[in-house]
Amino acid sequence: MDIARVNLSYISDPPTQSAIAESFKSACINQNRKCPLMVALEGPAIRVNGLPNNSPVFLKQGERVYITSEPGLDAAGRLVLFTGCRTLPRFLKPGSTVIVDRGQVSFTVKEIRRERMPHARMHTEKPGSVRNPKPNHR
């Protein structure tokens, strides 16, 4: 083996990630081998909350959706996704792709509003159900 690849994108617990890397390192030492470890990590993620009745919402292709980090946006009956990501308006721009639910649904940003009530107007590109994240149980 010339290289090992480990997918840690679904393991968000740093001690578990470290334990996997240390286990690999120990195996290399025990075999008296040098082998690079390539690690795949999760990319940027936007978690959304505040769906009506905490129920999944199915979005059709082309459907208009808004995303904001400030509660209280009136979108005239359109779905508003709420995220705790306060820097959202700074890194999104028209044409940006936003992916939610681990790639199950995607949007294209059409417009950004940075004043008063920062938000992005998006159109659904990849239809599907958007869900509130599952609570973390310890």
Q: What is the pLDDT of residue 137?
A: 41
In-domain check, residue 65: yes
The arithmetic mean of pLDDT across residues 96-110, rounded, is: 86
In this predicted structure, the answer to whether residue 45 has a pLDDT above a threshold of 80 is no
Residue 88 lies in a domain: yes
- Kindly provide the b/e burial profile for residues 33-68, where b requires at least 16 CB atoms within 10 angstroms of the residue's own CB: eeeeeeeeeeeeebebeebeeeeebebeeebebbbb
Same-domain check for residues 56 and 116:
yes
Q: Which of 113, 101, 138 is nearest to 124 (CA)?
A: 101
DSSP label at residue 54: G
Distance (Å, whole) CA 24 – CA 5: 10
Give the domain CATH number at 121: 2.40.33.10
Domain that holds residue 120: 52-130
Give yes or no for residue 136 having a pLDDT over 50.
Answer: no
Q: Does the structure show a pLDDT above 60 at 98?
A: yes
How many domains does the chain contain in total? Answer: 2
116 domain-assigned = yes
